[in-house]
A and B are shown apart, each in its own frame.
Chain A
Amino acid sequence: ETGVTQSPTHLIKTRGQQVTLRCSSQSGHNTVSWYQQALGQGPQFIFQYYREEENGRGNFPPRFSGLQFPNYSSELNVNALELDDSALYLCASSSTGGEKLFFGSGTQLSVL
């Protein structure tokens, strides 16, 4: 069984740039959720994708967007990066109707 994988592991960007983060879900899982974890904080829900559609969104602006592909992998895109976007971005997958989330190791994004 393959776990959740994310790429890249680390990324440095400057304010105003755009970034794309990638996630491959655990085998057998068709739902992907994205979370932002600021230093010393708990993860915050960004949005979830199911059947290639956004299925719920947290309190994040529209410059945070995503995609899910037919193989259930997913991308998180952030436009017009701000300093406060610096955080660990976690992807988690789950099965249909499944409550248990399995997290990837995350992408550490630094915005300078």
Chain B
Amino acid sequence: GENVEQHPSTLSVQEGDSAVIKCTYSDSASNYFPWYKQELGKRPQLIIDIRSNVGEKKDQRIAVTLNKTAKHFSLHITETQPEDSAVYFCAASLSSGNTGKLIFGQGTTLQVKP
């Protein structure tokens, strides 16, 4: 079945360093790839997303890259700050056209040390 694998499961960086989280997906028909940030006890919040017709997207300190051929996509956070500490989830759409139906990765716990 469809699957999204996310690595690493935990990531610890010093404030100001960069953080990279990687995901692979199995369904070649997936065409939408969002990233969510979930702070402890709070709702997942969409931080950035990318569609399959785009290779890279940037929004201030965060960027996402997509390699459709390899079925890989990654989240890059530059100049990390303590408030970036949270669990990050990648997701892929459940085949093309199935809006709102996502397969999530297992999550990466990011800790930014001051």
Majority-rule SS of B interface residues: strand
- Does residue A110 face the partner (Cβ distance < 8 Å to B)? no
Asked whether B89 lies within 8 Å of A42 as measured between CB atoms, the reply is yes
Asked whether A41 lies within 8 Å of B107 as measured between CB atoms, the reply is yes
Asked whether A48 lies within 8 Å of B34 as measured between CB atoms, the reply is no
Asked whether B100 lies within 8 Å of A98 as measured between CB atoms, the reply is yes
Contact surface of B with A, Cβ cutoff 8 Å: 1, 4, 6, 32, 34, 36, 42-46, 49, 51, 89, 91, 93-94, 98-107
By a CB distance below 8 angstroms, the chain A residues around B91 are: 42
Asked whether A31 lies within 8 Å of B107 as measured between CB atoms, the reply is no
Assuming the contacts A31-B100, A90-B43, asked whether A100 and B49 have C-beta atoms less than 8 A apart, the reply is yes
Residue in B closest to A49 when the chains form the complex, CB atoms: B100
Chain B proximity mask over A72-112: 1 for CB below 8 Å, otherwise 0: 00000000000000000010101001111111111000000
Within 8 A of B (CB), among A18-72: 31, 33, 35, 40-45, 48, 56, 58-59
Contact surface of A with B, Cβ cutoff 8 Å: 4, 31, 33, 35, 40-45, 48, 56, 58-59, 90, 92, 94, 97-106
Q: When the two chains form the complex, which single residue of A42, A56, A100 contacts B101, counting CB atoms closer than 8 Å?
A: A56
Residue in A closest to B98 when the chains form the complex, CB atoms: A56
Assuming the contacts A103-B45, A105-B43, asked whether A92 and B100 have C-beta atoms less than 8 A apart, the reply is yes
Q: When the two chains form the complex, which single residue of B46, B49, B106 contacts A41, counting CB atoms closer than 8 Å?
A: B106
Assuming the contacts A31-B100, A43-B89, A97-B99, asked whether A103 and B43 have C-beta atoms less than 8 A apart, the reply is yes
Asked whether A99 lies within 8 Å of B104 as measured between CB atoms, the reply is no
Q: What is the bound-complex CA distance between A56 and B98, given in angstroms?
A: 8
Residue in A closest to B97 when the chains form the complex, CB atoms: A97
Assuming the contacts A42-B106, A99-B32, asked whether A33 and B43 have C-beta atoms less than 8 A apart, the reply is no
Q: When the two chains form the complex, which single residue of A4, A43, A98 contacts B104, counting CB atoms closer than 8 Å?
A: A43
